[in-house]
């Protein structure tokens, strides 16, 4: 068990490093004396129920919002949604300015917590100060308004991360709690859909992501995730059409990588190769190693094992610490499978599943894994993943 020395909250999840209320580094073992608030964040019982804070319901911002910070909040939210490095920095600057203007603007604290968390998750995984700042901003929002649904949504967003071991059930419970407060909360539907997508509940993911677009037709990140869901369902043409409908300036590296994956699975290898080469030239930082991992697949398909192995090394280097490296890990597994190296492929599939992406339907149907389907290690992996998926599928239906 761990305890936050600041707010005296206990956590039974020993892998958690920072308090979800105030961002304070956790200490081992509960302290004696006062009665702590206990948070169960992992294990089967943790996913069963999540309740918003039992703090008194005092809505400081319950009146119509006429704060001068509100326009900056909306602008910051726009840039935060795009999840690329430049726009994320712009979002942080706008939201920090909003809070300077009105320190009691709860929504700005919430969105700033998200923006700090995104920067840590995607771009600066070694900067623990960002993680602490995100939790501190969220704690401030809860102090201002304990029942603010957006605060519960962002709590789930920060919880579902590599730092916390991607606790899928617990994050789902938090997003559902946010939706219990506001059933039309666009962000909670979106984030819930993202978690469902990653754990292979593709029908449930599609429903949540479509609901997101019903509420906010301009949400291009939800549109991107719908395309990803189509890809993982084996509907590559449908995914391609959706991806090409997303504005070119939205997040070209993210969209380009998924476009290339669609093209590979449609057998349009030359188009995919040209696209990856162009995207790599335009985005040499290669966030998360996605382009290098796609190159590994393409080289493997060409029969060039030496270049494929070199691309795998590069993907690992570029992806070190990246929150969504599990997608690149899946691509690396596919490259090894194409090269008929099942042991390495299965090792990366375990890495994929154990680090936030246990998407059984994808493992079952990915054409790039065809060459290892009769391998005993792969069959055991697939059987284990199916059992976990079926249990989650049943839980989702019963919820």
As given in the structure block, the two tokens for residue 228 are 């990803």
Lowest mean pLDDT among 1-5, 15-19, 38-42: 38-42
Mean pLDDT for all residues in the chain: 86
Q: How many angstroms separate the CA atoms of 101 and 73, rounded?
A: 11
Lowest mean pLDDT among 24-33, 113-122, 147-156: 24-33
Q: How many angstroms separate the CA atoms of 346 and 20, rounded?
A: 34
As given in the structure block, the two tokens for residue 236 are 């590559």
3-state secondary structure the chain: CEECCCCCEEECCCCCCECCCCCCECEECCCCCCCCEEECCCCHHHHCCCCCCCCCCCCCCCCCCCCCCHHHHHHHHHHHHCCCHHHHHHHHHHHHHHHHHCCCCHHHHHHHHHHHHHHHHHHCCCCHHHHHHHHHHHHHHHHHCCCCHHHHHHHHHHHCCHHHCCCHHHHHHHHHHHHHHCCCCHHHHHHHHHHHHHCCCHHHHHHHHHHHHHHCCCCHHHHHHHHHHHHHCCCHHHHHHHHCCCCCCCCHHHHHHHHHHHHHHCCCHHHHHHHHHHHHHHCCCCHHHHHHHHHHHHHHHHCCHHHHHHHHHHHHHHHCCCCCHHHHHHHHHHHHHHCCCHHHHHHHHHHHHHCCCCCHHHHHHCHHHHHHCCCHHHHHHHHHHHHHHHHHHHHHHHC
pLDDT reported for residue 41: 34
Q: How many angstroms separate the CA atoms of 271 and 31, rounded?
A: 60
**pLDDT-based confidence at residue 25 (cuts at 50, 70, 90):** low
pLDDT reported for residue 122: 79
Residue with tokens 């990366």: 348
- Residue 280 main-chain phi, psi, to 5 deg: -65, -40
**pLDDT-based confidence at residue 20 (cuts at 50, 70, 90):** low
324-333: pLDDT as tens digits: 899 999 999 9
pLDDT reported for residue 144: 94
Is 70 exceeded by the pLDDT of residue 362?
Answer: yes
145-203: pLDDT as tens digits: 999 999 999 999 999 988 788 999 999 999 999 999 999 999 999 999 999 999 999 99
**pLDDT-based confidence at residue 8 (cuts at 50, 70, 90):** low
pLDDT reported for residue 17: 57
212-226: pLDDT as tens digits: 999 999 999 999 999
C-alpha distances in Å from residue 90, one per residue of 80, 93, 94, 366: 8, 5, 6, 38
pLDDT reported for residue 80: 84
pLDDT reported for residue 82: 79
pLDDT reported for residue 40: 32
| Domains along the chain with CATH numbers | 2-51+68-183 (1.25.40.10), 285-398 (1.25.40)
**pLDDT-based confidence at residue 30 (cuts at 50, 70, 90):** low
Three-point CA angle 322, 225, 220, nearest 5°: 100
Three-point CA angle 43, 49, 51, nearest 5°: 125
Would you say 312 and 332 are in contact if contact means Cβ atoms under 8 Å apart? yes
Of residues 118 and 199, which shows the higher confidence score?
Answer: 199
**pLDDT-based confidence at residue 78 (cuts at 50, 70, 90):** confident
pLDDT reported for residue 59: 37
Highest mean pLDDT among 46-50, 55-59, 289-293: 289-293
239-280: pLDDT as tens digits: 999 999 999 888 888 899 999 999 999 999 999 999 999 999
Give the distance, in angstroms, between the CA of residue 113 and the centroid of all CA atoms in the same chain: 15
Is 70 exceeded by the pLDDT of residue 368?
Answer: yes
Taking the alpha carbons of 9, 43, 233, 266 in that order, is the dihedral positive or negative?
positive
Contacts of residue 253, Cβ cutoff 8 Å, sequence gap at least 6? 84, 279, 282, 283, 287, 290, 291
What percent of the chain is modeled with pLDDT above 70? 84
Other CB atoms within 10 Å distance of the CB of residue 297: 30
pLDDT reported for residue 330: 98
Lowest mean pLDDT among 44-53, 226-235, 293-302: 44-53
228-242: pLDDT as tens digits: 999 999 999 999 999
């Amino acid at each position: 068990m761990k305890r936050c020395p600041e707010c005296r909250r206990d956590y039974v999840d020993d892998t958690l490093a920072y308090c979800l209320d105030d961002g304070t580094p956790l200490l081992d073992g509960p302290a004696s004396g006062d009665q702590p608030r206990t948070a169960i964040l992992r294990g089967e019982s943790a996913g069963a129920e999540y309740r918003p804070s039992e703090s008194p319901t005092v809505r400081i911002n319950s009146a119509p919002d006429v704060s001068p910070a509100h326009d900056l909040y909306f602008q910051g939210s726009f840039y935060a949604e795009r999840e690329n490095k430049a726009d994320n920095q712009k979002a942080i600057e706008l939201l920090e300015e909003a809070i300077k203007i009105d320190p009691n603007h709860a929504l700005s604290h919430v969105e700033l917590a998200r923006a700090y968390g995104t920067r840590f998750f995607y771009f600066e995984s070694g900067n623990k100060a960002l993680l602490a700042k995100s939790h501190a901003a969220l704690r401030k929002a809860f102090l201002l308004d304990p029942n603010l649904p957006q605060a519960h949504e962002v709590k789930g967003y920060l919880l579902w991360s590599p730092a916390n071991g991607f606790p899928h059930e617990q994050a789902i419970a938090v997003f559902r709690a946010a939706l219990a407060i506001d059933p039309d909360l666009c962000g909670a539907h979106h984030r819930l859909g993202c978690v469902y997508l990653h754990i292979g509940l593709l029908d449930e993911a599609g429903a949540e992501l479509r609901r997101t677009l019903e509420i906010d037709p301009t949400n291009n990140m939800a549109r991107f995730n719908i395309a990803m869901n189509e890809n993982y369902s084996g509907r590559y043409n449908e995914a391609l059409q959706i991806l090409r409908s997303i504005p070119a300036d939205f997040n070209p590296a993210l969209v380009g990588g998924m476009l290339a994956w669609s093209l590979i699975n449609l057998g349009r290898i030359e188009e995919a190769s040209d696209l990856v080469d162009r995207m790599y030239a335009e985005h040499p930082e290669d966030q998360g190693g996605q382009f290098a991992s796609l190159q590994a697949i393409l080289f493997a398909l060409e029969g060039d094992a030496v270049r494929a192995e070199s691309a795998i090394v590069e993907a690992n280097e570029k992806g070190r610490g990246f929150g969504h490296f599990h997608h690149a890990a899946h691509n690396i597994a596919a490259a090894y499978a194409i090269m008929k190296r099942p042991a390495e492929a299965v090792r990366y599939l375990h890495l994929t599943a154990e680090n936030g992406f246990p998407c059984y339907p994808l493992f079952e149907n990915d054409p790039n894994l065809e060459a290892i389907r009769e391998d005993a290690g792969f069959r055991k992996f697939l059987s284990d993943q199916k059992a976990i998926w079926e249990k989650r599928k049943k839980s989702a239906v019963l919820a």
